[in-house]
Structure 1
Amino acid sequence: MRSFHSHAVLALLFTLALAGCGSLPSHRVSYETEEFDSTTTHTRNFAASQAQTCEAARRALLSQGYLVTAANADLVAGRKSFQPAREVHVEMELRVVCARDAGAGSTIAFASALQDRYSLKKVNNSASVGVGAIGSVSLPFSSSDDALVKVASETLTDERFYDRLFALVERFLVVPEAAQSEPVAPPSPLPPTTEAPLRPVPLSPTRG
């Protein structure tokens, strides 16, 4: 009899364990699909120097209303705010790194856009007053303040977004044409002349 009850309890526990495993939520994070096989989404080659490429990227960001937070010969960063809904705020941070490509004599631009999403939340604050020796007494009156709370952060991987960015950088790219223009020949020397050179004539002394 005891053996029967023992087997029944073990079977019940096994069934519950299987049910519990089946009910566990399966969370799959996005980086599990990262295969590191694409090198064209975030990169683009430009036939220019590092400084020229980053300057073009800086002008491209300024033309689209980005607030440039960093700009030098090899890095440009900017931020821009969006409000797609009444209680939703989005901030975009765009960074462009310019690295010299020694083999091709050009520059590789690496672009990455980070999107932070904020939501408007109400924070309740209860009111309290001090009453002599009793101390502070909480009253049933409360006030609410609105605050932006970050709810998501994601790196953009849309190829069309970066294609438009790099196309705009290409439009603002200014490469000096000094190397492409023909060199100016130096002036030819004057032909020799047989005329005697002019000699200074001494001035006659003035008489008082």
Structure 2
Amino acid sequence: MRLPFLRSAFPLLFTLLLAACGVTPPRQVSYDPEEFDSTTTHTRSFRASQAETCEAARRALLSQGYLVTAANGDLVAGRKSFQPANEVHVEVELRVVCARDSGGASTIAFASALQDRYSLKKVNNSASVGVGALGSLSLPFSSSDDALVKVASETLTEERFYDRFFALIDRFLVPEAVQSTPVAPPALPAPSTDTPLRSVPLSPSRG
């Protein structure tokens, strides 16, 4: 029986047929860089509540010039713009999610930064004039405008970037107030009874 051979050869024949017709089969996207082997790059544990951790993250973003776009008890987001070159514009959006640890004594902060890259492009605009029943008539006059076009988007994965950010959050965490025990005033010493008391004669009263 030749059925197993035909079944194994069918995908190859189908690919050859597509190539002969000039049709390129869809290319599979590879996600090899995503290995899911690190749980420390984007996370850090703090001995504080959710609200305290997110508040420290908000202050850390504000101290570095980020525009805070969202802030509540468990989420903080901020955006900052950069211009590394004359015609290149970069925006970084940093989001922090604060989740209570299972033990209840600390909070885990999950941070993720998305970097969008824009490039300055020229957009040509042609002039057109409506002419009654003839419709629109294009004229040989054109103008060009500069516009920022998004050319790339990537999640930052550099460990040093997140290490510096988490260290800054730790600096803005308000330490717990130290409860001081009131100190009792020292007790007055008891009078000594070793020395006998002497009687003091009373002065005669004037009559």
Fold shared per TM-score above 0.5: yes
Provide closer, same or farther for how the CA distance between residues 151 and 166 of structure 1 changes in structure 2, counting only shifts above 3 A: same
AA matched with 1:106:
S
Q: Deviations over 1:1-32 (max 9, x none)?
A: xxxxxxxxxxxxxxxx7xx8xxx9x9864x32
Q: Percent identity?
A: 79
Residue 148 of structure 2 is matched in structure 1 by: 148
Output the CA distance in 2 between the equivalents of 1:38 and 1:134: 66
The equivalent of 1:194 in structure 2 is: none
Matches within 5 A, 1:185-200: none
After superposition, where does 1:1-208 map in structure 2 within 5 Å? 29=30, 31-103=31-103, 105-131=105-131, 134-177=134-177, 180-184=178-182
Could you tell me how far apart the structure 1 residues matched to 2:135 and 2:67 are? Answer: 50
Gapped regions of structure 1 (runs ≥ 5): 1-16, 188-208
Conserved 8 A contact 1:68-1:77: yes
Name whichever of 124-133 and 87-96 sits farther off.
124-133
Superposed CA deviations along residues 106-136 of structure 1, whole A, max 9, x for unmatched, are 1111000000111111111111234455443
CA offsets per residue over residues 120-163 of structure 1, 9 Å max, x none? 11111111234455443222111011111111110000000000
Shift of 1:104: 5.8
Contact 1:52 1:175 (8 Å CA) reproduced: no
CA RMSD of aligned residues (A): 2.8
Are the structure 2 counterparts of residues 73 and 135 from structure 1 closer, same or farther at C-alpha, using a change threshold of 3 Å? closer
Gaps of at least 5 residues in structure 2 are: 1-15, 20-24, 186-207
124-133 or 68-77, which moves further after superposition? 124-133
Q: Which amino acid aligns with 2:158?
A: D
Equivalent residue for 2:203?
Answer: none
- Deviations along 1:25-52, whole A, 9 cap, x unmatched? x9864x3221211111000111111111
Runs of 4+ in 1 over 6 A off after TM superposition: none
Partners of 2:184 and 2:69 lie apart in 1 by 47
Q: CA 1:139/1:105 → structure 2, altered by over 3 Å: closer, same or farther?
A: same
For 1:158-181, what per-residue CA distance to the aligned partner results, in whole angstroms no more than 9, with x for missing partners?
00000000011111110331xx32
The one-character-per-residue Cα deviations of 1:43-100 (angstroms, maximum 9, x if unpaired) are 0111111111110000000000000011111110000111111111111100011111
* SS in structure 2 of the partner of residue 169 of structure 1: helix
Q: Letter of the 2:75 partner, please give it.
A: L
How many pairs are equivalent?
Answer: 169
C-alpha separation in 1, matches of 2:57 and 2:183: 37
SS of equivalent to 2:162: helix
Amino acid at match of 1:181: Q
TM-score (norm 2): 0.71
Q: Secondary structure at the match of 2:56?
A: helix
Output the amino acid matched with 1:137.
L
